[in-house]
Amino acid sequence: MDHCLRGIAVAPGAAVASLAWLDRSSDSAPAAFSPPTSPSSQREWLAAALSECQQAWSELTSTLRTRGDHDGATIFEANVALLDDPGLHGLVESYLVSGHKVTHAWAHAVNEQATALESLDDPLLRSRARDFRDLALEVQAILEGRSAVPLTASIPADCILVARRLTLPDAMRLDTSTLRGLCLVEGGGSDHVAIVVRGWGIPVVVGVPGLDASCTGKNAVLDGDAGVLVVDPNPRMLEQYQGRIERMQRFDLWARTWRRDPAVSRDGQPLKVYANVSAPTDVDATLGSGADGVGLLRTEFLCVDRSTLPTELEQTAYYRSLSQRLGKRRILVRTFDIGADKTLPYLALPPEANPALGCRGIRLALTRPHDLLFPQLRAILQGFAGNTARILLPMVSMLDEVVQVRAAGQAILEELDRVSVPRASAVEFGIMVETPAAALMIDRWADEIDFLSIGTNDLTQYVMAVDRGHTELSGLADAAHPPVLRLIDRVAKIARQHDIPLGVCGEFASTPVGVALLMGLGIDSLSVHPSAVPRTKALIRSLEREQVTRLARAAIDTHSVGEVYELLRQELDSDLWRDLLRSRPAPAMATTVDTREHSPYDQ
């Protein structure tokens, strides 16, 4: 009899497989283990256990860094450092001195410290306390003679893993190549573990009650879109899900095979698909993904993990190497988009009540031109020597901002020419359309702008007046709301009239709903995460420009986002699109420097 359990959807997709319960507490001490007894050997035992754990954790941190997850690595290191806390060790010592065994001393000292953090009623601290306890448990395991059983040994291949919870170190140790899905009893969507697992590409659902070891071996359907686990599904449901999974697999294979070809709609209309590059590691991914170019080069990563701003020389070297690797492909370089909410301590930016509405992006650059604006402009103009430099300005809300940057750019070009330094053969300036001001004024600004890129994430935030990181109101932070579509439509019309290339680089551009509507509104290009390029091209190829144009016009005329989705479901009713529309948009990939108010890497 099928048993349907509801939880919180964390990562999209569907899987049909047998369940395997993960139970770490069953790791038992080998019979021959006898712990040391004298106080000095107890201390040595603890030191040895700590050292072994530190070694393993430092390997995990390196893995995170090589994967490009610097934020994750930094926070993991900070958590690990807590285990060296002198207060903690002082407590352990006092337990040892009063005659307790080290296993007891460690457990109780950890518990006292963790409870002190939890008692402050601060959810972030509670989350930290849990991470602290998890790490301490690994030390505890060694103290009790339980060797850490390698996780992969205890998990069968091709299963849906079920557990009460997953510690961050365990999540990082899992061999995900044969894992079909993950289901946790505890947890919420924004835990650290949730962030890590989203990048795995398998369905993940958390907060599913009523599961325990007895579920092992049972057949199940895990639906990462609806947030549901169905144990022992009936044949009809199995058939439906299996059909869906097979269609998606065929679609993904088709997308991967043809990713290098230009994306052309079923009725012959081309649409360019570019990649968003956030860090040097993305360049390889971009080249392999089939992207037609770089629709957004985020430059903030040049500023993180250091104690001073990058110099003109450093920046020039980077832009030059990028320009060489990507050749004549179109590259839009966005100048530093930083503000008070980004953790760049060396800039000593005064705190703001509303960083999303504060001094950031081009505003900040214009208040600090000598350290933020000029060096970057000079570096871009030199780095792209022999090519066209396309400079994209973030957070523009006044024409004067563009005019000033153009003037500065012109002065720099003249100076470089005067001293015969090689520089870009052509220069274009474009703006991010992310403020409502920009969207409303494009017609008047057209003469000063060479290209446009709509940042749907921020634009939606400002138009719908919702914090894009807000959990309860996340339904408002959706670009499919008619007011946002109307603004995009307006910008698209004006861009066409003035022959200005128009792209979209927000999360919306890689979702099925977004691709359909944006194509229908007449956008020239989409810029997405490198891993989403093949799929985005495939989505374009599955649509007819004429049909989505009609769809978009109708969507703009609706009263609400609900009507928009209804229209999409009615019009796009192929088996493929029925499956695609069932999926929620994939959550944003964590970037190194993130504009969200509540970064998942908050400590």
β pairing state of 272-277 and 293-298: parallel
Nearest distance in Å: CB 372, another protein? 18
Helix (H) or strand (E) holding 557: none
In residues, how long is the chain? 603
CA distance 148 to 142: 7
From 100, 192, 481, 529, the catalytic residue? 192
Q: What minimum distance in Å lies between the beta carbon of 70 and another protein?
A: 13
- Give ∠ CA 523-527-532 in degrees, rounded to 5: 120
Q: Answer whether 323's CB lies under 8 Å from 358's CB.
A: no
We find the least distance from the C-beta atom of residue 111 to another protein, in angstroms, to be: 12
Nearer to another protein, 563 or 597 (CB): 597
Q: Which residues bind another protein (CB under 8 A)?
A: 74-75, 78-79, 81-82, 85-88, 113, 116-117, 120, 122, 124-125, 128, 132, 340-341, 343, 345-346, 348, 350-351, 602-603
Q: How distant is the alpha carbon of residue 391 from its chain centre?
A: 24
The CB-based long-range contact list for 444-448 (8 Å cut-off, 24+ gap) reads 444/399, 445/399, 445/402, 446/494, 446/497, 446/498, 446/500, 448/399, 448/402, 448/403, 448/406
Sheet with 14-22: list strands edge to edge. 3-6, 228-231, 219-223, 14-22, 159-163, 179-184, 204-206, 8-11
CB 299: neighbour CB atoms within 10 A? 24
> Active site includes 159?
no
The least CB distance from residue 227 to another protein, in Å, is 29
Q: Which is nearer to another protein, 276 or 592 (CB)?
A: 592
In the bound complex, what is the minimum distance in angstroms from residue 342's beta carbon to another protein? 9
Select 348 or 419, whichever has its Cβ closest to another protein: 348
- Which is nearer to another protein, 99 or 345 (by Cβ)? 345
> Of 124 and 407, which has the nearer Cβ to another protein?
124
Q: Label the pairing between strands 179-184 and 228-231.
A: unpaired
Strand segments, DSSP code E, in 372-495 are 388-393, 426-433, 451-454
Q: Smaller CB distance to another protein: residue 128 or 334?
A: 128
Query: H or E stretch including 401?
Result: helix 399-418
What type of residue sits at position 384? F
Q: What six digits make up the tokens of 572?
A: 């796009």
505 noted as active-site residue: yes
Segments in 446-574 forming alpha helices (H): 456-463, 482-497, 512-520, 533-541, 545-556, 561-571
Cα distances (Å, whole numbers) of residue 323 to 333, 350, 493:
11, 35, 32
Residue carrying structure tokens 């179109």: 330
| Active-site option among 183, 481, 505, 529 | 505
- Least separation, in Å, of the C-beta of 64 and another protein? 16
CB of 603 to another protein, least distance (A): 4
Helix intervals (H) in 302-345: 312-326
Give the residue carrying structure tokens 């420097």: 593
244 versus 360: smaller Cβ distance to another protein: 360
The helix or strand, by DSSP H or E, that contains position 342, with its residue range, turns out to be none
Least gap, CB of 591 to another protein (angstroms): 17
Q: Which is nearer to another protein, 128 or 330 (CB)?
A: 128
In angstroms, the Cα distances linking 295 to 455, 466, 513, 536 are 11, 26, 20, 14
From residue 97, alpha-carbon distances to 90, 94, 136 in Å are 10, 5, 21
Tell me how far, at minimum, the Cβ of 125 lies from another protein, in Å.
Answer: 6
* C-alpha–C-alpha distance, residues 581 and 569, integer Å: 7
Beta bridge partners of 6: 228
Nearer to another protein, 29 or 124 (CB): 124
Q: How far is the CB of 188 from another protein (least distance, A)?
A: 19
Distance (Å, rounded) from C-alpha 489 to C-alpha 495?
10
Identity of the residue, 95 or 132, whose beta carbon is nearer to another protein in the bound complex: 132
Show which residues are catalytic: 192, 505
